[in-house]
Chains A and B, each alone.
Chain A
C-alpha cells in the first residue's frame, strides 16, 4: 500500500515524453478527494493496528473491576482514564478497538492474499485451458455464486466449527469466484492480442506466457477487486463474529464485541456504538479507495 503513495521524484523529461506510469496513475488518483481521504484513514488504521501495543492504554482483556460500564469522557460520569468508556466487565473500549483493528486488518490481508492467489491460479488455468478443465472450474465457480455470500460462509463455518481461523477460511472461499472470473476474463482478452502471439512464436513456454506475459496485464481489475475485497472480508468476518460463528469472546474482534454488548443496549449506548463505527469507517475507507483506484486504473475512463 505504501508503494502507491510514494511519488517518483520529478526527473527532467524531454518535452512530449509520456509521464512515468506511477506519476500518471497518481495524477488521476489524487484528483479523487474521497479516495485520497480513504487512503489516509486506512494508513491511520493500519498504524493503529501495528502500534496497538504502544497506543492502547490497557491490555485488551484487562478487567478493571472498579470501573464497570463507565461512559466516554465527554459524558457525565466518564473520565479521561477510559476515553471511550468501559464495557460490562470493565475492559477499556478504546484499547479493545485498537487491538480489534489489528484483527480486522489481519483478516483483510489474509483473506485477500488467499483468495487473490488461488483466484489468479484458477483463473489463469481456466483462461489458458478452455477445454474440460476450464469449463469445470467455471461451473464450480457458478455454483458457488448461486449461494448468497454470507450463507455460503455460514455453511462452511458450520462444517469447520466456529472460530476466527475458520471464519477467515470461509470468507476467503466465498469471495474466490470473483477473482477467478476476473482473471479468466482478463486473460482471455489478452490472449487474443498480438503481443501474446509474438511471445508464443518467440518460443515462450506455457508457464512463462501465463505469469510473465499475460498476468501483468490483467492486474488492474484485480487490484481494484482486492481493495474492495478488503472491505467485504472485514464486513463478512464481523457479521460471522456477530452471529457467534466467527471469533469467540473475549477476542476483541469488532463483530464479536457488538454481539457481546447487545445486552447493554438500554444501559450503555457506548458499548454498542463504537465497535460498529469502527467497522463502518474501515469498510467505507476501503470502498472509497477501491472506487478511486478503479477510476484511476480503468483506461476507458482516462481522457
Chain B
C-alpha cells in the first residue's frame, strides 16, 4: 500500500511543474508587450516602461523569471488583479465557496438520480424503463449545457415564474457569511425566507451543472451493475435464498460501485468546466464567471492565477480519487 501511495503521489510533482510551466508561458505567449497590455490604452513613457519591466522581472533571463514565479507561487503569491488590485489568491478563495456549493449540489443531484436510475435499469434490463434511462442519459450526455440552461430559464423562470434568473439570493437579504455556503449561512442568519430564497436560486444552476455527470453516472452504473450481476457469487447469493433487494443492494452494488467511483472523480473536471458556462449564464458569483470576466477584461494575472488554482484543484481531486480507488479495490494496490 505504501509503495502504491508513494508512486502515485510522486506522479503529481511533474504534473504540477507542467501546469506551472503552462501558466508561466501564458502571460509571455500573449501577443504584444505585457506591460502595454497592463496599462491599456493610456500609454506609458519609455522610462516608466523600463522601470516596470525591472519591477516585474521581465528583464531577467526566462529561466530566472520562472524560478521567481515558482518561488512566489509556493509562497502563495499569485500576483494582483490588474482591475481590482486585490491579490489573486484572496479573490479566488472569496469566490471558491460559491463554486464549491454549486458543484456539490450538482453532484448530489447527479449521484442520487444517476445511481438509482442506473441500478434499476440494470436490474430490469431491456425493459421500457431501461430503454428510457439509456435514451435520456445519451441525450443528457450530448446536451450543450449552455442551451439546456436557457431552456430551463425559459420554462421555469420566464413562463412559470418559479425561480429567479440570476445570483445566489435575493438582494433584500443581507447577513454575514461565516462559511461562504449560502444554504448554511442563510439558515444561520435566522432571517425569514432567506433559506428558501437561496434554494430557489440554487436549484436551476445545480440541475444544469449536474446533467452531464448524471448521464455519465447512470450509464456507468448500469453497465457496471450488469457485469457484476452476471458473476457467480451473485448466483450463489440468489441460490442460497437471499432476498433480491439484498443481493442487488448489498452484494452487487458494492462491487459495481468501484468503477463508478473513478467516473465520479473524472466528473470533477467536467463540473469545474461546466461551472464556467453555468455561472456565466446564471450570474453565479463563483470562480468560473470570475475567470471569463478576467479574459474579457484582459486581466492576465487573474487569469494566470485562476487557471493554476483550478488545475491544481483538479490534480488534487484526481489524486484523492486514485488513492480512494486503491483503498476500496484491493486488486489495484496489490497489482503494483
Chain A residues in contact with chain B, CB under 8 A?
34, 139-140, 142-143, 146-151, 154-155, 158-159, 161, 231, 235, 238-239, 242-245, 255, 258, 262, 265-266, 269, 272-273, 275-277, 279-280, 283-284, 287-288, 291
Contact = CB atoms under 8 A, between A and B. Distances in A.
A148 B269 contact: yes
B314 A239 contact: no
A221 B296 CA distance: 39
A170 to B, nearest CB: 13
Contact of B276 (A150, A275, A277): A150
A265 B310 CA distance: 32
A288 B138 contact: yes
B158 A265 contact: yes
A140 B19 CA distance: 10
A132 B311 CA distance: 26
Interface residue SS majority, chain A: helix
B89 interface: no
B314 A158 contact: no
B31 A262 contact: no
Interface residues of B, number: 43
Contact of A243 (B18, B30, B150, B277): B277
B318 A146 contact: yes
Nearest to B310: A151
B22 A143 contact: yes
B132 interface: no
Contacts of A279: 144, 147
Interface residue SS majority, chain B: helix
B88 interface: no
23 contacts: A139-B18, A142-B15, A146-B315, A151-B311, A155-B303, A155-B307, A158-B30, A159-B29, A238-B146, A239-B277, A243-B276, A243-B277, A243-B280, A255-B144, A258-B146, A262-B150, A276-B150, A279-B144, A280-B139, A280-B144, A283-B142, A284-B138, A287-B138
A265 B144 contact: no
Nearest to B31: A161
B232 to A, nearest CB: 20
Nearest to A259: B146
Interface string B23-36: 00010011100000
A159 B32 CA distance: 11
B212 to A, nearest CB: 10
B273 interface: yes
A159 B276 contact: no
B142 A245 contact: no
B141 interface: yes
A149 B276 CA distance: 12
Contacts of A287: 138, 141-142
B39 interface: no
Interface string B142-163: 1110111011011000100000
A269 B154 contact: yes
Contacts of A284: 138-139, 142
A243 B288 CA distance: 11
